[in-house]
Amino acid sequence: MSYTNPSYIKMKDFDQSKSRLSSKYSLYLYRELGVDKMPQPDGIPVIFIPGNAGSYRQVRALAAGAAEMFRDEYQSNLLVQNLDFFTADFNEDLAAFHGQSLLDQAEYINDAISYILSLYKRNTKAGLPIQHYYPHPESVMIIGHSMGGFVARTMVTLPNYKLDSISTIITLATPHTVPPLSFDSDLVSVYDNVNRYWKNSFANVIKNQNPLASLSIISLAGGNLDYMIPSEYSVISPVIPATNGLTVFTTTIPNVWRSIDHQSIIWCDELRKVLIRTLFEVVDIRANSKLKPVTKRMKIFGKYLLPGIENIFHTNSNEPVSSYSSNSSNKEDVPEFKSSSTDSSANDELLLSSQEPPDTILIIDDLSKTIVPPSDTLRLSRLGATNKRGHSYLLPIPENGSKVLSILTDQKVLDPLSNSVVDPQNINLAHLTISSLDGMVKDNTARGLYLFACTLPENYMATGTYLSMMDVSSENYESQIRTSLICKSLAQESVQIPSSKLTVLDENLDHDAAESQNQKSISFSYLQYETRNLKPYKFIIITDTNPQGLEGFITAEISGKSDISISLKTTIWDLFWLGIKIDLRNRQSIMMNISLNVPLCSLFSFKLKQSGEKYNTKDEAIPLTGKLAKSIGTIHEPLFLPMIRQYTMNGHESKFHLNMHNSRNQHVFFHNVAPYTPFQEGESQNLLGLQIWSDNIGGINADNFQELTFELDWLSTMGRWLMHYRTALGIFPFPIVTFIILIQFVYYNSTGIFISFNDGVSIFLRKLLVWVLGIASILTWAINTSIARSIFYFIEPSLYSNMGEETSLYSSKFGTINRKEFFLGIDEPALWFMGPLFVVVAVGIVIFLDYGVTIIINLVARLMMTLSKLTDNFDGEGFSCDDGTRIRQGDREQYFNPSKLTTVRRLTTVGVLLISVITFIPYQFAFVVACTVQVIAVIKEQFRLLKPEYGKMEAGLSVLACGKSSTKSRNFYNYSFSILMIMLCIVPINVPVLMVWVHDLTVRWKTPFTSHHNLLSVLPIMFLVERTTRRRMIPQMWKLSQVQFTVCMLLYMSSYAFIFGMMHAYWLHHLVNFFSAWLLFIYWGAGKRPTRDSDVSENILLHDKILEAAE
């Protein structure tokens, strides 16, 4: 973070005449004091949208950095203008909890865009003739943090969106594919509608055109340090094709190379510099949009946000990264984007062919060249040449196409096209002579390192245009035979990776400090080709024109493809119990590529261990037998320290582990296919990759990298499960509670005894738990079978039409898009134990909740009892078992007995609350009030039970002596307690929306709360609570149909919560509401089943026997 001098100018003209939400939100223009000279906008509009509970002031890091960068670097560029950052003040609105708030924000920003664009008029660029007028902006760029990014995507779906008014969207840690919470039906609906609209648009199913064709979107994910949302939710490839969208993890971005937490991603200095530079590079003020065309934009985004190494290694990629990577050529045209490739080599390695003609003529002689035998490795520990012009190292390209060329250096590879320039000339290569070139060479070659793919003129029968000529022959070339070579510069194909080299090998330097030190050093340049893609070239030439003795290194080799690649097929069980051991003792290549197949790797964390001897850091010289090496002086240390890159085949995620000599154990996290996220089916969804760079030449560290062990990190894996399934802790207890209530009702209908919730838990653990665990273990891996889906669609028919629509519309454009949204969102048989595990956790939560609520209720009831004894002058005499209460002088029972409330007061209270739900408050507020009332009712009922029990203990009476009245009181307490438990299970589902409403009240917004006023969503619950406050016990159901319906309803509620609860949690409230309506029907229409008074004692004894058997 850097120092800023912010100024926020409120756009007061943007009032309610321009947006109906102007009384709720505000719009500001940011100006950096001392840098921005004009208070009014004069550049290119950019809108920053804060995230959930975010502040408009968060824009200052990006806006201040843009102002400073424009002043220091781009002010002299006549085709670039400053960026005007606007930001919206949403008063820290909670859009992640409330779908209507999200829609309001999107509508407001759409109105703000129209207003912002109206502020700009035609203006000229200083220094250009007056006739060079530029059009005023007709679109804006948007940067959205967290939910602000999804607000930006929602904007294009609204009626007030103006077509093409948004040119580029950049999102930071935004959950694109899955809502952060599924507690609000509006939020879930907005996510479904927005993602469907975007996929429809790019599938060309909306009026045979794509309204988003000119819009580009970049999604940046923070990686494993983002604990707010899983970074897999930020992947947009299943929704937006690579022609317009790109997902990048911050660990992949050059010069960032690290994970960033949810909040820091806004102001991280390394990231904001890259992001701001990228924005300036896509600017073209001559266009109406003020930006380059979308294809060029995507190419620039790839250049600055991707290192380019994914071009070399990623196979079967769903996104054609080679189309816009950092190592693409500087040509204006952009290759056509493809959604997939059937030829893996097209994405596997870079291609050089006759379609990319030579661009450089290189002149060498015998004194200025060294030919490296194919079986040897070029290893230079010092750079520079005795020849003033330079020295060239020739690696012959084998005819066998299965070989792979690898080059690694700590130097930047220079481009001869920008350093040694000649006038373009058409030359007949068949008649090329040295004498004809002598007059053309303009020897202003910059000192540095050059890479070429070259061939002899007679091997390249064509006529070409050459922009560069380099003469690195010896100065006394008259005595030597000079050779001219036709070459293609490889400078654009070299990729940037972080350096892993310390000047001094410090054994006490920890891994984090080593990485921090490496961030300050120069990056490495790496290049790899499969030799069959180098035709028609015959040599790879490394030309070193550095001054002699320069500190630096370069190493290059040509290896067999099988020697550098390891493909391992493993199972999750192998990772769980055995781990994966990779033997590297007989592999001494510069780079090793290891492919692993790990299903659902996003759910796991791994430990990467290396074994071997420590590095040699002593002063004795180390022989380099059997290898070609050139060095100045004695070698005392390796060229570089080992480093490992982890990556996924889907998406753009890479992470480098540097300085492996000090940190033997590396924590490895992958973000690939995750539960509940859409993905494109294929083998690549489970493929993981590890690349290992090490200096295993000449014995320097041949013993250091002997073996790698890849094993599961259980503790960290548990943390990742908690990250993905934290909402399950609030959802899965619900079906357990419904099972227990089912047991209570069945037992009550049979015996007339409504057993306690604790007794129901005991019976559930003994009789039903094993069945629930078995079903959960089957559901874990069977959710994706056709039979299971048919059953699920029967439970929730609305999902069938959505699934069918996705399959038919998007398969041709996006491939087969799948989404595991049932139960735990996984279908891997080896993970069958996860279902039972979460059931056990849910049972534990229910037991903890049962005991916790019971303890609190008893403590409060006993406190009330103590206060009652103090206020009523209790003397311990007099009992009455007929109605379960005491009769004594000065008794103030009426203050604790809710049944004595008048009918008028009850109806008035309920009526006022219901009218408020219709007009002002959300039904969630009424539910929380009802839940509070139910808590009070249960406490009071416990108070009644404690008072006679206290007296009976004093008198030495038995429980059965109280007879029928005492049993009814206990039945009613148990029943009320169970109703309270199921209400407590859905309190977390209702609280987020209630928080939004309370937040709206605190900021005194005049606009009404426009959602969640459905009276029927809470009316049955309120009437049920009203019945319990009047101490009305649910009657027994003597009709078989009523019993069957009750059982089916409770089983449906449990099944729905398990299968659909994670993605449709809001439905659990409605299920409880339906169940409450059914109980009211039982109250009013069940009739009475005659019961003899003599049955009471028998039922109590039967109850005790059943509990004894259960225990």
Q: State the virtual CA torsion across 344, 345, 350, 353 in degrees, nearest 10.
A: -140
From the centroid of its chain, how far is CA 714?
A: 21
> Which 3 state secondary structure label does DSSP give 315?
coil
The angle at the Cα of 458, spanning 454 to 460, to the nearest 5 degrees, equals 55
Q: Where are the beta strands (DSSP E) in 765-832?
A: 817-819
Dihedral class, residue 842 (left if φ above 0, else alpha if ψ from -120 to 50, else beta): alpha
Contact 69, 76 (CB under 8 A): no
The C-alpha atoms of residue 187 and residue 473 are separated, in whole angstroms, by: 70
The C-alpha atoms of residue 132 and residue 125 are separated, in whole angstroms, by: 8
For 577, counting Cβ atoms within 10 Å of its Cβ (0-12 exposed, 13-18 middle, 19+ buried), the class is: exposed
* Residue keyed to tokens 């540095």: 448
Beta carbons within 10 angstroms of residue 313's beta carbon: 21
The string of DSSP letters for 371-427 reads: EPPTTS-EEEEEE--SSSS-EEEEEEPPS-TTEEEEEEESSPBP-GGGTS----EEE
Contact 1049, 916 (CB under 8 A): no
Contact 260, 298 (CB under 8 A): no
Q: Which residues pair with 283 in a beta bridge?
A: 291
Q: Which of 1024, 1029, 1018, 998 is nearest to 933 (CA)?
A: 1029
Looking at the annotation, which residues are catalytic? Answer: 146
Going by DSSP bridges, is the β-strand pair 140-145/44-49 parallel, antiparallel, or unpaired?
A: parallel
Q: Which two tokens stand for residue 373?
A: 């035998």
Contact 14, 22 (CB under 8 A): yes
Q: What is the largest CA-CA distance in the chain?
A: 130
The C-alpha atoms of residue 778 and residue 795 are separated, in whole angstroms, by: 17
The C-alpha atoms of residue 470 and residue 256 are separated, in whole angstroms, by: 35
For 1049, counting Cβ atoms within 10 Å of its Cβ (0-12 exposed, 13-18 middle, 19+ buried), the class is: middle
DSSP state of 652: B
Report the chain's terminal Cα–Cα distance, integer Å: 62
Q: Which of 50, 47, 55 is nearest to 29 (CA)?
A: 47
User: In degrees rounded to 5, what are phi and psi of residue 326?
Assistant: -70, -20
From the centroid of its chain, how far is CA 804?
A: 26
The string of DSSP letters for 846-898 reads: HHHHHHHHHHHHHHHHHHHHHHHHHHHT--S-----SSS----TT--GGGT-G
The C-alpha atoms of residue 307 and residue 330 are separated, in whole angstroms, by: 16
What single letter denotes the amino acid at residue 210?
Answer: N
The C-alpha atoms of residue 374 and residue 904 are separated, in whole angstroms, by: 99
> Which 3 state secondary structure label does DSSP give 452?
strand
Q: Which two tokens stand for residue 333?
A: 């045209």
Q: Is the peptide bond before 536 cis (omega within 30 degrees of 0)?
A: yes
Q: Which two tokens stand for residue 607?
A: 């430990």
Helix axes 963-985, 834-872, angle to 10 degrees: 130
The C-alpha atoms of residue 765 and residue 753 are separated, in whole angstroms, by: 20
Q: Which two tokens stand for residue 547?
A: 């001054």
